[in-house]
Structure 1
Amino acid sequence: MKEGPIMDLDRFAALAEAYGGDVSRWPEVEREAAALLMATEPGATASRLAVESDLDWALDSWRAPGASQALQSAILASAPAPRRGAAWRGWMWRTGLGAGLMAAGAAGVMAGVVVSGAVAPVGELEVISAAVSAYDALDVELVGDV
Structure 2
Amino acid sequence: MLIISNAVHIPDDEIELNAIRAQGAGGQNVNKVSSAVYLRFDSQASSLPPFYKERLLAFSDSRITAEGVVVIKAQQYRTQEQNRADALERLRELLLAATKVEKARRPTRPTKGSKTRRLDAKSKRGTIKAGRGKIDY
Give your verdict on TM over 0.5. no
The answer to which structure, 1 or 2, has the higher relative contact order (CA under 8 A, 6+ apart) is: 2
Greater share of residues in strand: 2
Larger Rg: 1
* TM-score in terms of structure 2 length: 0.29
Q: TM-score, normalised by structure 1?
A: 0.28
